[in-house]
């Protein structure tokens, strides 16, 4: 451990920050309880583990087609054992047209063909469990692909599916003139442009808070909520240990019944640098963080707990993804009525509130804010990166990697890491011609796309310094491999005692030492 502290100034700094923050909070708890030491509860399997996010398309390709797959993940499960990882969370692996690379799901009950088969999935789960690694899936309840059976049946007004999605009549700017048709409201999609798309077949608009091809479910329809539980149960029966719940703030939108039968226009934000097609031009108060969504999350938690009890299985965990203010975020844990929600909402403070210019005080603020606002008796978590934001070394500085990884592991609760952080992978350069991210394609151009693109954080994993960084034996890869792969790769770092991977004796040994 001493060798770890000597590595860089930032490591020393963050260790001191952790000591001050955790020490002061611990002192306050003990002081309030008197001279007797507090009783320590036995921790459940997930409460102080390391969760490793895998972006399957970029992790390991087993068949040479340039796309990562399930067999590739299975072949490298020992990497997680070496790193002390207790759970892997895979970004969506379900069938999809890949407009948003898996977040536009067309079949919630199967495996995308490029990633393998259900037999491959079963093998992965079985092998992971043999190694003591839990398996979490990325679940996208807010929307489905417009190629899904749900949407096809709803668009055709098939019985039982008529209201599976959010449909709305057009607004006519000229009474009785169908040619004056316009959208029901001024709401803006997360990927830019209106949230409303016209369906010629149904002669109505449908709502999509993300891409046009991602239609929003109608969660005010009990049949939709029942189907969501059916999906959870199917994958629990397959041995899945939990889910990351995607895009939860967007599950509900203003109810036209509360506004005289129309969808209300949102107030303008006043940001003079944005136009009417850009997210942030309006306040978004009618399309996110509506209080109704928490009832659904609490329903899912009740279902997961009941499943665990009925099957006498390990705890099935639910993790809430929400970029919301701290008050709305904490409601995902539960409410004042004693209802439980997600086991924890993701803590994005280290992504949204600090960067390479931040000082120790900024880090202290992020840590204390979460621990102070978190409801009593719950579990904290810490996140430095994911597939939707620039990689940690690119947002901060390369010489901060070891310190930030150490901080993540030393803080109380669950440490969450994104693939490549353990070796200090940086953003890869992806040209406009090679860009595939729908967020960049919708909102950017050849000059501005990097402001929106998530592709640089999704380039293939660097296994070694050979062709394609050892990711694929194919002639090309779905995104270009970053140019620095010969300098930054796992094989090289396993041979270097002062590498990111080896420093502090790998993730697992650091956790053992610090916790």
Q: Catalytic amino acids?
A: 246, 321
Residues 110 and 70 sit within 8 Å (Cβ to Cβ): no
Measure Cα distances from 214 to 140, 147, 276, 471, 474 in Å: 11, 9, 21, 30, 31
Strand 204-207, strand 317-320: pairing: unpaired
- Which residue from 27, 68, 173 is spatially nearest to 387, judged by alpha carbons? 68
The C-alpha atoms of residue 153 and residue 238 are separated, in whole angstroms, by: 27
Q: Which helix (H) or strand (E) holds 382?
A: strand 381-383
The C-alpha atoms of residue 184 and residue 196 are separated, in whole angstroms, by: 8
DSSP string, 311-337: HT-SPPEEEE-----HHHHHTTTB-TT
- Helices 506-514 and 401-410: crossing angle in degrees, nearest 10, is 50
The C-alpha atoms of residue 491 and residue 84 are separated, in whole angstroms, by: 17
Measure Cα distances from 290 to 104, 223, 261, 510 in Å: 23, 20, 18, 40
215: its two tokens: 């239609």
């Amino acid at each position: 451990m001493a060798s770890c502290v000597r590595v860089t100034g930032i490591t020393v700094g963050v260790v001191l920050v952790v000591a001050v923050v955790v020490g002061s909070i611990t002192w306050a708890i003990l002081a309030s309880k008197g001279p007797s030491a507090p009783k320590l509860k036995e921790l459940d399997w997930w409460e102080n583990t390391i969760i490793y996010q895998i972006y399957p398309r970029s992790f390991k390709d087993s068949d040479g087609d340039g796309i990562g797959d399930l067999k590739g993940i299975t072949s490298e499960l020992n990497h997680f054992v070496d790193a002390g990882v207790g759970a892997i969370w895979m970004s969506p692996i379900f069938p999809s047209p890949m407009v948003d690379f898996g977040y536009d799901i067309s079949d919630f009950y199967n495996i995308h063909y490029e990633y393998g088969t259900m037999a491959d999935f079963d093998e992965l789960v079985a092998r992971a469990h043999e190694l003591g690694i839990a398996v979490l899936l990325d679940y996208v309840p807010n929307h489905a692909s417009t190629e899904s059976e749900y949407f096809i049946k709803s668009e055709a007004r098939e019985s039982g599916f008529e209201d599976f999605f959010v449909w709305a009549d057009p607004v006519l700017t000229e009474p009785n003139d169908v040619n004056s048709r316009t959208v029901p409201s001024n709401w803006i999609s997360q990927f830019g442009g209106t949230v409303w798309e016209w369906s010629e077949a149904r002669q109505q608009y449908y709502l999509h808070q993300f891409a046009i091809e991602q239609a929003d479910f109608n969660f005010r329809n009990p049949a939709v909520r029942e189907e969501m539980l059916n999906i959870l149960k199917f994958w629990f029966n397959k041995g899945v240990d939990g889910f990351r719940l995607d895009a939860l703030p967007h599950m509900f939108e203003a109810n036209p019944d509360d506004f005289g039968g129309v969808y209300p226009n949102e107030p303008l934000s006043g940001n003079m640098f944005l136009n009417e097609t850009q997210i942030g031009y309006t306040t978004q108060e009618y399309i996110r963080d509506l209080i109704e969504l928490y009832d659904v999350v609490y329903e899912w938690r009740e279902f997961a707990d009941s499943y665990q009890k009925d099957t006498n299985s390990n705890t099935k965990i639910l993790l809430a993804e929400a970029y919301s203010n701290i008050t709305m975020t904490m409601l995902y844990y539960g409410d004042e009525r004693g209802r439980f929600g997600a086991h924890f909402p993701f803590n994005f403070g280290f992504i949204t509130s600090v960067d390479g210019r931040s000082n120790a005080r900024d880090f202290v603020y992020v840590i204390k804010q979460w621990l102070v606002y978190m409801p009593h008796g719950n579990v904290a978590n810490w996140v430095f990166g994911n597939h939707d934001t620039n990689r940690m070394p690119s947002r901060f500085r390369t010489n901060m990697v070891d310190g930030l990884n150490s901080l993540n592991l030393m803080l109380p609760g669950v440490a969450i890491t994104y693939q490549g952080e353990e070796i200090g992978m940086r953003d890869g350069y992806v040209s406009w011609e090679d860009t595939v991210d729908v967020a960049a394609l919708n909102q950017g151009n050849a000059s501005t796309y990097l402001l929106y693109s998530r592709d640089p954080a999704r380039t293939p994993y660097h296994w070694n310094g050979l062709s394609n960084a050892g990711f694929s034996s194919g002639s090309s890869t779905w995104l270009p491999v970053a140019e620095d792969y010969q300098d930054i790769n796992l094989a090289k770092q396993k041979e270097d005692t002062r590498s990111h991977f080896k420093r502090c004796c790998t993730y697992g040994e650091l956790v053992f030492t610090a916790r």
